[in-house]
Structure 1
Amino acid sequence: MNKIKSILICLILASCGTQLPEIAPDVVTEKTLHDTDDPAIWVNRENPEESIVFGTDKDTDGAIYAFDLDGKIIESKTMRNFKRPNNVDVEYDVKLNDSTVTDIMIFTEREREQIRIFSVPDMKPLDNGGFKVFQDTRENEMSLPMGISIYKSPKSGKTYVIVGRKNGPKEGYLHQIELEPAGDHLAPKVVREFGLFSGKKEIEAIAVDDELGFIYCADEGHGIRKYYAEPDMGNEELALFGGEHFKDDIEGIAISIYPNGKGQIIVSDQQEGTFNFFSRGDNSFEYALNLGTTETDGCEVTTAALGDKFPNGLFVSMNDNDEKNFFYHDLSKLKEPVKAEE
């Protein structure tokens, strides 16, 4: 079946109120205290079964929870007493100095207007207590960081943070910050301000395809925006796509990466309670799935085999704030549904 016909069927089903069949999660995590928002997956490359799912608990008395692959809270890795932690991401083999590299976890702490960085898995701070962002525009919530993602350049080896905010200008909504090695910590250096904004709602979800060198961000209620990840490639918007496939808010973004440029961009259709799948290649719409979550903000995916529990990779999605948890799905379940006619 060609893509145009597939899209028409999806639109007809939506207009008739037909619900997609629910794909039940393999694991539901233990509950957080307040309001789950965004997950990240740290793959333990030596012992994949001991990989960690980090998840933000978005509140003034907030936390970064650590969960094992059974969905149980790892209290020794969970960090509390943050002021509204919002989005979280991880990166591997980040250089601290000439002889030291470490995996890192990074997240926005909205009410303190800053970014935090910790080593993984020992959870030691690498940021001298955090570094402020967006301090030049302190009005209309423009100084409050929300979305965050990490880009590690295959070309230079440099590590960058791309961060968005609660509100912002029509141009320059995003900042790209280089994390410079500074001995025992990482020092921030803003290298560009870029990104268009519709002004309709906000831009929160950000994801980076390191291999292909693209940044994707969700302009809620408008569309998915695409930019080059290398700062010297320019600030031109490469694409704006997908808006017609969402009921209202375009939320979490995750990118499944396979060899030869294959994979998908998976995006939460928040009010519809589903996820839309787009081609990693040409960004065309492929299909939608119902994974059982409601009001999903953030999601994340890894294609790495995580032992016997998730041998095909793992997809993690936030469930609504009444449930205060995250859902795990084996990645093999996120396939295009069988259609009645071919």
Structure 2
Amino acid sequence: MDRASPANSLVLADNKSSSGGGIGVFDMTGKLLEFRPDGMIGNVDLRSGFPSSGTPIVLVGGNNRSNNTLSLWSLDTEARTLSPVAARSIGTQAPNYGFCMYRSRASGKFYAFVTPNGPGSVQQFELLDDGAGKVDASLVRTLPVSSITESCVADDELGHLYVAQEGLGVWKYEAEPDAGTDRSSVDKVGAGRLEADVEGMSIAYGEDGAGYLFVSSQGSSTIAIYDRAGNNPFLKSFKVTENGSVDAVTGTDGLDVTTANVGPPFERGLLVVHDESNSGGDTSNLKYVPLDSVLK
């Protein structure tokens, strides 16, 4: 988000297509400003303040399904463009499926998590400044999972990692690399709130540890909200319904949320959701939803 000029904030989104896949930069009206055809990018995430040769950058990352690598870019917030910054071809497990990032409050270090398309492990990589304007990565931890796992999201303030096994539910780990493999269940498919596949997740940050965990229940075309604190009690589920000429959201594969002011009509935050079937169009698209309309 652009705190000085909120309406100039940006939305980044991936295209997972086997032909024409990549990453796009959108403005707050939904206009595509740039598209980079860099491969089948599964999920994208970003963190600001990554130290690149002494200069802080906005580091954007994603898992590239085309070649099972990490894709890394620097976001120029003035030019509103992306530039590749991976120091080399950074291999991951094969096949990879999803991605998220984490910045540790304890150490200040930056990490990336990569999830598997099937039984395997969630891989945790430390992201490293190579001293020459590029970013490298080193594998520091693996978290075994028994089935397809795509979405993950890290809570930078509280130090938690949430992982969604598509057919099972949502797990909660500690995000530090020395935290081991212990986990707890946030919610399960079949318990009445989530229907497979369990897809996109995001954190809505509030003050003093307050806020929410958003989870997409693709099978029911709903979004579940959990308390960010404690054992993440379930709060409510909702659907994004039609509004005039804008159709309802169905089969959401991904979402993101911010509580920041990103310009009108999103002064109190924004929820971005993927709609797999856009009425009147040939493809899926993104829907922008004022966050206060969801939380009221």
Q: When the two structures are superposed, what TM-score results if normalisation uses the length of structure 1?
A: 0.77
Which protein shows a greater Rg?
1
- Whether 2:101 is the aligned partner of 1:150: answer yes
Distance 1:129 1:319 in 2: 34
- Whether 2:141 is the aligned partner of 1:186: answer no
- Checking the alignment, whether the CA contact within 8 Å between 2:87 and 2:130 is kept in structure 1 is no
Q: Of Structure 1 and Structure 2, which has the larger fraction of its residues in strand?
A: 2
Higher RCO (C-alpha under 8 Å, 6+ residues apart) = 1
Unaligned runs of 5+ in 2: 241-247
Aligned to 2:25: 66
- Whether 2:35 is the aligned partner of 1:78: answer yes
Aligned to 2:83, what secondary structure does the other structure show? coil
- Whether 2:234 is the aligned partner of 1:285: answer yes
Unaligned runs of 5+ in 1: 1-42, 135-142, 337-342
Q: After the TM superposition, which parts of structure 1 deviate over 6 Å for at least 4 consecutive aligned residues?
A: none
The one-character-per-residue Cα deviations of 1:194-241 (angstroms, maximum 9, x if unpaired) are 1433x3xx1101001110000001111211001000112222113342
Distance 1:45 1:335, change over 3 A: closer
The letter of the residue matching 1:168 is: P
The letter of the residue matching 1:58 is: K
Distance 2:119 2:264 in 1: 44
- Whether 2:211 is the aligned partner of 1:263: answer yes
- Whether 2:82 is the aligned partner of 1:123: answer yes
Aligned to 1:124, what secondary structure does the other structure show? strand
Quote how far apart the aligned CAs of 1:328 are: 0.5
The one-character-per-residue Cα deviations of 1:174-196 (angstroms, maximum 9, x if unpaired) are 01000111121111110011143
Equivalences for 1:79-98 in 2 at 5 Å?
79-80=36-37, 82-97=38-53
Quote how far apart the aligned CAs of 1:129 are: 5.3
Aligned to 1:230, what secondary structure does the other structure show? coil
How many percent of aligned residue pairs carry the same amino acid?
A: 29
Aligned to 1:174: 122
Q: 1:107 pairs with 62, 68, 78, which one?
A: 62
Quote how far apart the aligned CAs of 1:301 are: 0.6
The one-character-per-residue Cα deviations of 1:231-255 (angstroms, maximum 9, x if unpaired) are 1222211334243112221111111
Report how many residues are paired: 276
The letter of the residue matching 1:107 is: G
Aligned to 2:123, what secondary structure does the other structure show? strand
Aligned to 1:212: 158
Aligned to 1:235: 181
- Checking the alignment, whether the CA contact within 8 Å between 2:69 and 2:89 is kept in structure 1 is yes
Q: When the two structures are superposed, what TM-score results if normalisation uses the length of structure 2?
A: 0.89
Q: Of Structure 1 and Structure 2, which has the larger fraction of its residues in helix?
A: 1
Distance 1:238 1:231 in 2: 17
Aligned to 2:115: 164
Q: 2:256 pairs with 295, 300, 320, which one?
A: 300
Quote how far apart the aligned CAs of 1:280 are: 0.8
Aligned to 2:4, what secondary structure does the other structure show? coil
Aligned to 1:49, what secondary structure does the other structure show? helix
- Checking the alignment, whether the CA contact within 8 Å between 2:249 and 2:274 is kept in structure 1 is yes
The one-character-per-residue Cα deviations of 1:13-55 (angstroms, maximum 9, x if unpaired) are xxxxxxxxxxxxxxxxxxxxxxxxxxxxxx1233221111111
The letter of the residue matching 1:160 is: Y
The letter of the residue matching 1:190 is: L
Aligned to 1:250: 198
- Checking the alignment, whether the CA contact within 8 Å between 1:69 and 1:309 is kept in structure 2 is no
